[in-house]
Amino acid sequence: MNTINVTIKDRLALITLNRGKSNALNREMITELTDMLHNIANDDNIGGVIIAGRDNFFSAGLDLIELYGYNEEEAESFWHLFLAFIAKITAFKKPMVAAINGHSPAGGCVIALACDARVMAEGKFIIGLNEVPVGIIVPESIFSLYAFWLGKGHATRSLLEGRLFSPEEALNIGLVDELVNQDSIMTAAERKIRKYMALEPNTWQQSKLNIRKELIAATSADQSEALKVMLAQWWSPATRNILKMIIDNLQKK
């Protein structure tokens, strides 16, 4: 695997996102994550998963530089792949905790939202869904995931503003569950997931699926019509101009 590292200890799998400085999500990374989750789901020797980033980034979200260069067919297949991955991680039966060690906007936030709990590092980091100011229409399935934790009112206001939260703000609105010193994040995440793993597995997993029934239905539903609308906006001159400005800024850094 080129974009993730996986270690297993005492029935706990640690998936570390490992792609460049910011862990931007591209086709290869999403494919590797999807395949790894499939393997873990079917491995009776693994009882839970922690997903973590590196340095000061959990994940900066989708790799806009790579996506910008896609043709129409590539863009459509990528978005189908990404939404299928979100459906898979949302319906993942085993306990999963996000160790948010740094910045986690956009797609990084979506991965964290699909987990059962989120432990975030204290510091000058950001988390949230900021797609709207970028010119990307957020599918209903991803809004459902946001609203599952924030409630519809908070999620609606935050999404339409493209608001990004500090760790303290994220804790106050229920976007994350715990704040810890960055050096302690793996200890805190493991402490949280071990509590889940100590419970009777079938009872815990079935309860999770029951609680998420509507959410799983929303993320697993046919996304074709929503993607048509989304892709039409993706190729619009307005969105292309915004993306070009963002990419120019990224490439200057």
* Mean pLDDT of the region 230-253: 91
Give residues with Cβ within 8 angstroms of 216, minimum separation 6: 87, 90, 91, 209
Residue at 244: amino acid letter: K
| C-alpha radius of gyration, the chain, whole number | 17
* Mean pLDDT of the region 156-165: 97
Contact call for residues 169 and 123 (beta carbons, < 8 A): no
Q: Are strands 127-128 and 104-105 parallel, antiparallel or unpaired?
A: parallel
pLDDT range class, residue 200, cuts 50, 70, 90: very high
* pLDDT at res. 18: 97
Instruction: Dump pLDDT digits (tens) for 12-49.
Output: 999 999 999 999 999 999 999 999 999 999 999 999 99
Contact call for residues 90 and 45 (beta carbons, < 8 A): no
pLDDT exceeds 90 at position 95 = yes
Helices (H), 162-236: 167-173, 185-197, 201-211, 213-220, 224-234
Contact call for residues 166 and 134 (beta carbons, < 8 A): no
Q: How many CB atoms lie within 10 A of CB 10?
A: 9
* pLDDT at res. 211: 98
Give residues with Cβ within 8 angstroms of 61, minimum separation 6: 24, 25, 105, 106, 107, 108, 109
CATH class of the region 4-198: alpha beta
pLDDT exceeds 80 at position 202 = yes
pLDDT range class, residue 253, cuts 50, 70, 90: low
Q: Where are the domains of the chain?
A: 4-198
pLDDT exceeds 70 at position 189 = yes
Q: pTM score, two decimals?
A: 0.96
